Structure 1
Amino acid sequence: MNLSDQKSLTFLLADDHSLIRQGIIFLLEDLEINVKILQAANLQQTIEAVKTNSIDVAIIDAHFPDGNSITFLPELNEINPETKILIFTGIDEGANALKYINAGADGFLSKMSEEEEIKNAILQMIKEGEYISSVTQGLLLNSLKNGKPLHALSLLTGREMQIAKMYAEGFGNLEIANKLNIKQNTVSTIKKRLFHKLEIENIVELIELFKQ
């Protein structure tokens, strides 16, 4: 699929192994995506890259020498809510995928995946802003079969849940921005994101979810 005529996208490749980063670069070149590539080898570099650049898609490892990326996913979402995050890792998907998605990731992919699946995940992150693998889909289905369905609100990150509660309590964008000491457009972006995750269109539907 040729995406070379699409506007330039900025990708952040964050992994402490340079060979992994280079492999992803080869795949992006193969997909002919018009892309600017930033790289990070540890958590601190990853955070700095997000703070100083407007990143469309971040492909991030789960573990770095200086920590676990799950601990700073909420911070990344707060710094730039529009950045889409794909966790690309060697840790077990069955035991970890939902934890990372609940923490703020938009997708989870195993490094053991075939090349075509990795390419598909990248394309899904660009087009849909998320990637749910067949393994993660299976986890969600199993939770339903076991009689333990995930409530829609469990899909929200900590910051998204905080803002959702404030909307449900009657606060507006400006009030929320002032109380949390963040920009009003950041609040608006997070609102769009949580509405998309919850598949709702207005505050009334949000309040109904909290009642459930």
Structure 2
Amino acid sequence: MKILLADDHFLVLDGLEVLLSTFEFVEETKRALDYTELKNILKEQFFDVILLDIHFGRHDGREIIQEIKELMPDAKIIALTSHSDSVTIKSSVNAGFDGYLLKIDRREDIEKALMAVTNNEKYFSPKTQQVFFEANTTKNKVELTDREKEILQLIVAEQTTKEIAEQLCLSEKTVETHRGNIMLKLEVRNIAGMVKKAIMQGLVNV
């Protein structure tokens, strides 16, 4: 198994490389300290698994994961983070990660994660499983009406208020009212935040 470690902390990288060297099934490990280096490496070499820090320098792993998958569609990507809150876990799952590990997880958790994802299974370390399942209960789910979902999808598709109003046979003021309600429910302050959170929470098709 060839593994790429994408993290901007030398201490984390050093520790992971030492740990992974003790796994008999790990053939090679390589490190990337920033997103530019990561992309350059992926253009030259194949990896079975990528351990990606969610907060990867100036980049958010949840935002760059799709580009990474385009560069290497057969690789499995495991989120590696110190964040164990439900919002981060859920948004990472919705973004497309194959697994979720905390930097404080045990050796056996990391080993199980690597074996699971390469067998096309999702993996969540025991410390995150309960939080993940709680995050997927209805009490934590943002509830949008069918019309709000429809408008949200069109906003994500970069249509203007006027274009949305014409397509749905609504007034522009009605569209603006729906947009305001969506922003309140998603707890965001602007369109960019609304689009980002909608994608992260899997509320729209992209």
Give the TM-score normalised by the residue count of structure 1: 0.58
Q: 2:133 aligns with which of 128, 140, 154?
A: 140
Counterpart position of 1:78: 70
Gaps of 5+ in 2: 143-206
Distance in 1, matches of 2:69 and 2:42, equals 10
Residue 83 of structure 1 deviates from its aligned partner by 0.8
Are residue 15 (structure 1) and residue 7 (structure 2) matched? Answer: yes
Q: 1:44 to 1:28 in 2, by over 3 A?
A: same
Residue 50 (structure 2) pairs with residue 62 (structure 1): no
How many residue pairs match? The answer is 143
Q: Per-residue displacement from partner, 1:14-36 (whole Å, max 9, x unpaired)?
A: 11112212222222222212412
In the alignment, what sits opposite 2:16?
A: 24
- Give, in whole Å, the separation in 1 of the partners of 2:79 and 2:24: 22
Matched-pair contact (CA < 8 Å) for 2:51–2:80: yes
1:165-204 equivalence runs, <5 A? none
Letter paired with 1:87:
A
1:25 partner amino acid: E
The equivalent residue for 1:46 is 38
Q: Which runs of 5+ in 1 are unaligned?
A: 1-8, 150-212
> Which has more radius of gyration?
2
Go from structure 1 to structure 2 and tell me whether the alpha carbon gap of 1:136 and 1:85 turns closer, same or farther (over 3 Å shift).
same
Deviations 1:72-101 (A, max 9, x none): 101111222111001111123422112112
Aligned-residue RMSD, C-alpha:
2.7
Deviation sequence 1:83-139 (CA, Å, 0-9, x none)? 100111112342211211211211111112223222222222333453123323542
